[in-house]
Amino acid sequence: MTRRVALGVALVLLTATGCGSGESGPSLTVFAAASLKHVFTGLEREFEAADPGVDVRFSFAGSSDLAAQLIAGAPADVFAAADQPTMDKVVASGRITAAPLTFATNVLTLVTAPGNPKGINGIDDLADAAVVVCAPQVPCGRATGKVAAAAGVTLAPVSEESSVTDVLTKVTSGQADAGIVYVTDAAGAGDKVESVPIPQASAAVNTYPIAVVDDSGQAEAARRFTEFVTGPAGRAALAAAGFGTP
């Protein structure tokens, strides 16, 4: 186990140990891709209102980091990943045996500072720009590689981040001229960034799966949460946030 994963597992264990004291209902630990933070935080309020007594606790991070923590034994009830290959790794480990449900899709876009001061009009304009992308092992990084290949471009990023939200932060904080993120992250950033569409984005459509972790101590509540995400309320919230349908 790497030190990074071990620290992540330790933090999750500490959080799980502290959950539930003085609470009348179950605590539900949901591991979710960083790109889902905004929409899942909103769904949390709706779900808890519809299912009183259940307290949803999220752990948002890069899907690959979350998968590594699960494989290392971190306690969780639900896992929502940003692509199928990441979910497949957890399934292969035996932590999840039920068939995951796909609930959303996402594609990439370029983001720059407001006003696009570098005049970046597409992925082929990044040669002289300080661009930040997701690391190759992260779902958004795998998608970035496919899009760059489809565009016939070789990227030379100044940094590779472990989550798409870290890429966005580099751009909004002025540490990078441009970043490649999901369209949903760009939409969530509002006027903090300017979006530049990538025509080749359709070459890498990420499909998001969700599943109940086998050894969940709250299997029934976890099942209800996954049904809520994949049901009408979840679909409406995901669509409003810019996610596509599977």
pLDDT in tens, 23-77: 457 899 999 999 999 999 999 999 999 999 999 999 999 999 999 999 999 999 9
Query: Do residues 127 and 165 touch, judged by C-beta distance below 8 A?
Result: no
Cβ atoms within 10 Å of 194's Cβ, excluding its own: 18
Average pLDDT value for the chain: 91
Lowest mean pLDDT among 5-9, 95-99, 238-242: 5-9
- State residue 26's pLDDT score: 83
Residues 11, 96 within the same domain: yes
Query: Do residues 145 and 180 touch, judged by C-beta distance below 8 A?
Result: no
**pLDDT at position 92 over 50:** yes
Beta pairing partners, 179: 111, 132
pLDDT single digits (tens) 40-52: 999 999 999 999 9
- State residue 24's pLDDT score: 53
Residues 169, 89 within the same domain: no
Residues 160, 217 within the same domain: no
pLDDT single digits (tens) 117-156: 999 999 999 988 999 999 999 999 999 999 999 999 999 9
Q: Which domain holds residue 143?
A: 108-203
The helix (H) or strand (E) run that includes residue 103 is strand 101-106
The number of folded domains in the chain is 2
Residues 59, 173 within the same domain: no
Q: Is residue 246 part of a domain?
A: no
Q: Which residues are CB-contacts of 72 (< 8 A; sequence separation ≥ 6)?
A: 1, 5, 6, 8, 9
Residues 7, 87 within the same domain: yes
Q: Is residue 141 part of a domain?
A: yes
Angle, helices 3-18 vs 63-71, to 10°: value is 80
Residues 59, 179 within the same domain: no
Which CATH number do you get for residue 234? Answer: 3.40.190.10
